Amino acid sequence: MARLCAIDTIKDLGIDLHFQVEIKQALDDIYTSWREGDEEIFLDCATCAMAFRILRRGVNALTRYTEDGFWSDTLEGYLKDEKAVLELYRASRIIYHDASVLENQMCWTRDFLMQLTDPESCQNSDLIQRPTLNKSILLKDVLNYPLYVELEPMAYKRNIEQYLTDNTRMLKSSYRWLQEHKLDEMRVAKMKMNYCYFNSVTTFCDPSLAEARIAFSKSTVLVSLIDDLFDIHGTREEHLNIIHLFERWDVDRPKVDFCSEKVETLYWAIHSTLCETVEKAFPTQGRSVMDHVVELWLDILKAMFKEAEWSRTNTVPAFDEYITNATLTIGLGPFLVPALYLVGHRLSEDDVKGTQFCRLFNVTALGCRLFNDIRGFEVNVITNITN
């Protein structure tokens, strides 16, 4: 149990990269004990469930006890052991194939854990105890976000909250970047920085992908600010101005004058970020990818301008026309593709402009757009605002 807890804690802290050899050796030993039916594992419900969860998510694809009745009686005698029930629930959620035993176990344990969060149930039952402080954050996430609770960034977030870590230092670098480019003067930029960085960590969570995370985060903030320029704050003149700046892109100096300080600030922030990304990508890619990333930005700017024109003229486009344009305005191109150049794999021009990549990209962008629009529609219904 001690080794299982150590592995679980190290992974949740996000420092398992530094202990890969030790973790692999421990998992091999635990897997051997599992196959031999070691009593140290199987006589304790919580230990068995934790071992099942950790091994099943690792290199050892366990199938034992997913097709028989092992789990059906595991709760007997453990109804007061919140930790055991919680581990059983987390283990039962890792379903790769048709495993009715795990599905039944998941439903039962979830109902039981729901009662732990209900004050009246805890007061009226001698079998149910309130969760301890250390487990309450995990219990909340397990019940409220079942699809995301095992994501590594969620585990990191829980530990930050549990250990009362001051996130001011963690976001110091991001705020400095905002200040350097005068983006901190745009109040919305600070509000979006945390959200954008969380997205980048979810996408590129491995510690070795720091450069990709940084590029992804910066580009996401910039896309959000450009979206606000076209959707809320900007004029038609500003829209056309920034499009012309990208149409006549020059690394050294712009060939078009700025029509406002707002456009100038955004342009130089994007310019600096693109130059930085392209420079860092060159050693891996063996070529300059500047033309491609500028093309991605120009595509989204033109698509946003088309949406702004629809809004100005009260035009309702056909669905096919809207969705084709909307897959561009979701912004996946400018913030995802440049980050992919920094992952460490060489991507040729044929790769990123080939049929397979374009289809995968379009499907992903379409999914993001539909999910965004569905959530936006739900908010509009609640607030009675038409968008």
Evaluate if residue 118 carries a pLDDT over 70: no
pLDDT in tens, 120-134: 555 545 444 454 544
pLDDT in tens, 163-212: 665 555 555 556 677 778 887 777 665 566 666 777 777 777 777 888 99
Residue ranges of E strands in the chain: none
pLDDT of residue 324: 93
Residues 6 or more apart in contact with residue 177 via CB below 8 angstroms: 183, 218
pLDDT of residue 177: 79
pLDDT in tens, 209-260: 889 988 998 998 899 889 988 988 889 999 999 999 999 888 777 777 889 8
At 231, which amino acid appears?
A: D
CATH class assigned to 167-383: mainly alpha
Give percent of the chain with pLDDT exceeding 70: 74
- Residue 131 DSSP symbol: P
pLDDT of residue 134: 46
Residues 6 or more apart in contact with residue 247 via CB below 8 angstroms: 298
Domain boundaries, the chain: 2-162, 167-383
**pLDDT tier, 44 (very low <50, low <70, confident <90, very high otherwise):** confident
**Rama region for 174: left / alpha / beta (φ>0; ψ in -120 to 50; rest):** alpha
- Contact at 8 Å (CB) between 335 and 216? yes
- As a whole number of angstroms, the distance between CA 267 and CA 105 comes to 55
- As a whole number of angstroms, the distance between CA 275 and CA 281 comes to 10
pLDDT of residue 77: 47
User: 3-class DSSP state for residue 81?
Assistant: coil
Give percent of the chain with pLDDT exceeding 90: 27
- Mean pLDDT across the chain, nearest whole number? 78
Q: What is the mean pLDDT of residues 93-122?
A: 66
Q: What is the mean pLDDT of residues 341-349?
A: 90
Tokens representing residue 374 in the block:
């569905």
Q: What is the pTM of this model?
A: 0.67
- Contact at 8 Å (CB) between 189 and 222? no
For CA atoms 61, 64, 67, 71, give the dihedral sign. Answer: negative
Evaluate if residue 291 carries a pLDDT over 80: yes
- As a whole number of angstroms, the distance between CA 301 and CA 246 comes to 9
- At 384, give phi and psi (nearest 5°): 60, 40
- As a whole number of angstroms, the distance between CA 242 and CA 298 comes to 9
pLDDT in tens, 65-87: 444 444 444 544 445 567 777 77
Q: What is the mean pLDDT of residues 265-276?
A: 92
pLDDT in tens, 306-323: 999 999 999 999 999 999
In the block, residue with structure tokens 């990818």: 289
pLDDT of residue 170: 52
pLDDT of residue 66: 45
Tokens representing residue 8 in the block:
């679980």
**pLDDT tier, 329 (very low <50, low <70, confident <90, very high otherwise):** very high
- As a whole number of angstroms, the distance between CA 186 and CA 72 comes to 57
Q: Which CATH architecture has domain 2-162?
A: Alpha/alpha barrel (1.50)
- As a whole number of angstroms, the distance between CA 23 and CA 233 comes to 52
Q: What is the mean pLDDT of residues 22-40?
A: 83
Evaluate if residue 293 carries a pLDDT over 80: yes
Tokens representing residue 310 in the block:
């629809």
